[in-house]
Amino acid sequence: MPSDFRVTLLGTGTPIPRPDRFGPSTLIEAGDHTVLIDAGRGAAVRLFQLGVPIGRIDALLLTHFHSDHTVGIPDLWLTGWLSSYFGNRRRPFNVIGPVGTAKLMHHLESAYAHDIEIRVEDEKLEREHVAITVKEFDEDGVIHQTGDLRVLAFTVDHGEAIKPAYGYRVEYQGRVAVISGDTRYNANVLRHGAGADLLVHEVAMAPPELLGQAHIQRIVNHHTSPQEAGRMFAQARPRMAALTHLVMLASDTVAAPTIDELITATRETYAGPLVIGEDLMSFEIGESVTIGNLKSRP
């Protein structure tokens, strides 16, 4: 059932360059507002598949600076500038994120300066539409508000060295969607996600045979296990719970856990509504929360 508040998972993957699970990126459409949370690999491709012109994005919100969440930024920024139906941005590229966002964007401007000069001269593209505006924040609170849309950032725990790291709570006309960002099981996610219409949480799982390896242990320690994600959902009791950012660890000789194994492990601690995210899966948040895909999109 179409709603005026829709969350679409553009990428449900990790650094693994899989063609079926692109890098982390989540599209929020709320009335006339269009916001993107993170810009992993292929975010621009997924927007094109949806028929959403890249230039329509009002704001890009970043959760943290791991490259799998940011490598899609130059594509969104520069392809969105092109004078075409798939781009056509008629205003500066607006980025909101933790302290460090301005530095990242400043260096991207330097890296692509030559392309910008070329296109201004050759294609007569407007300089002001490739300009970047950045708003940084360094504490929890409202970081974006426009009309009936309000977005709060909250600190999460992605490990000692991986700071800053935030999750987002998106509020629109009394409805709430919460995106955990990359985190271990964290009380802030519960605080902001309790009773949400939609709680989208990251997850990581490793085959038991690999848990003895130090680098596997390190990755698992930066994320939330299926049992912990289930515990979060059981406590927060969202109307719909979704897993995304599927860190399914493997080696050259040991296969990654299956989706069925992920579901079974999550079900050890949670019996409520649950869906395993897929790229281009959407959630229509209205009277009820309904799950859609590319074909069901209005």
Residues near Zn ion, by CB under 5 A: 66, 68, 182
Give the contacts of 167 (CB within 8 A, at least 6 positions apart).
Answer: 63, 153, 154, 156, 178, 179, 180, 181, 183, 186, 188, 189, 192
Q: How far is the CB of 40 from Zn ion (least distance, A)?
A: 8
Nearer to Zn ion, 55 or 164 (CB): 164
The tokens for 240 are 């719909």
Pairing of strands 132-137, 93-98: parallel
The dihedral of CA 11, 16, 17, 19: what is its sign? negative
Question: In the complex, what is the shortest distance from the CB of residue 63 to Zn ion, in angstroms, rounded to a whole number?
Answer: 8
CA distance 91 to 32: 16
Length of the chain: 298
- Which of 4, 38, 68, 122 is catalytic? The answer is 68
Beta carbon of residue 69, minimum distance to Zn ion (angstroms, whole number): 6
Pick 87 or 164: Cβ nearer Zn ion: 164
CB of 122 to Zn ion, least distance (A): 37
68 is catalytic: yes
Of 62 and 241, nearer to Zn ion (C-beta) is 62
Encoding tokens for residue 164?
A: 């800053």
Q: Tell me, what amino acid is at 197?
A: D
Structural contact between residues 207 and 249, judged by C-beta atoms closer than 8 angstroms: yes
Of 248, 189, 180, nearest in space to 37 by CA: 180
| Helix residue spans in the chain (DSSP H) | 43-50, 73-74, 101-111, 113-122, 187-193, 214-221, 226-236, 259-266
Instruction: Using the minimum distance from each CB to Zn ion, give the nearer residue, 119 or 223.
Output: 223
- 295 vs 298: CA distance, rounded Å: 8
**Cis preceding-peptide flag for 164 (omega within 30 of 0):** yes
**Rounded to the nearest whole angstrom, what is the least distance from the CB of residue 274 to Zn ion in the complex?**
21
Nearer to Zn ion by Cβ, of 194 and 219: the residue is 219
Which amino acid appears at position 290 of this protein?
T
Active-site residues: which are they?
68
